[in-house]
Amino acid sequence: DIQMTQSPSTLSASVGDRVTITCRASQTISSWLAWYQQKPGKAPKLLIYKASTLESGVPSRFSGSGSGTEFTLTISSLQPDDFATYYCQQYTTYSYTFGQGTKLEIK
Contact positions toward other proteins, by CB under 8 A? 1, 32, 34, 36, 38, 42-46, 49-50, 55, 87, 89, 91, 94-101
Backbone angle region of 5, left / alpha / beta, with phi > 0 → left and psi within -120 to 50 → alpha: beta
| Min CB(14)–other proteins separation in Å | 25
- The DSSP bridge pattern shows strands 10-13 and 102-106 to be parallel
- CA-CA distances (angstroms) from residue 77 to 19, 43, 74, 82? 8, 24, 9, 10
Q: Smaller CB distance to other proteins: residue 68 or 101?
A: 101
Q: Smaller CB distance to other proteins: residue 1 or 70?
A: 1
| Min CB(32)–other proteins separation in Å | 6
| Min CB(54)–other proteins separation in Å | 12
For residue 101, how far is the Cα from the chain centroid? 8
